[in-house]
Amino acid sequence: MGYQKRLENRLQKKGILVAEKVEDSEKPLIIGLLVAEILVNPIGIAEGHITLVIVSKNFRKQNIGKMLLEYAINHLEQMGSEVIKLDIEENFIDKLEYFKSLGFKESYRVLVYHPKT
């Protein structure tokens, strides 16, 4: 099994990283996806943001997510990110220890309010 990765839209400082399963006679199958961007905060610090990491259910626990994250972190650092943030939703909080093992630290929690319309 081979993995082909690509990060697009480098000049606009955001992109998509794709992990594909490639077999000789078949069309590549997308098995993982990561979305990242760089934003400059109000005080001028370049912040990398990883906004989505997803791996196909049949390919989990094979380090695909880790490979996507490591590649994205390296790329964001090369593009000048001074900090890299990863937002996770409450229903994925069980993955918090996994992300901490990759070097992320929990720094705050965001509360969300949805007005009734």
> Residue 70 has what pLDDT?
94
Give the sheet arrangement for strand 14-21, strand by strand.
14-21, 29-40, 46-55, 83-86
Full-model pTM? 0.77
**Distances from the Cα of 39 to the Cα of 14, 46, 83, 85, 101, angstroms:** 9, 6, 10, 11, 25
10-101 CATH, one of 3.40.630.30, 3.20.20.105, 3.90.550.10, 3.40.1000.10: 3.40.630.30
Residue spans of the domains in the chain: they are 10-101
> Residue 83 has what pLDDT?
92
Can you give the pLDDT of all 117 residues of the chain as single tens digits?
233 333 333 334 568 888 988 887 778 889 999 999 888 888 888 889 998 999 999 999 999 999 999 999 999 998 888 999 998 888 888 888 889 998 999 888 888 888 998
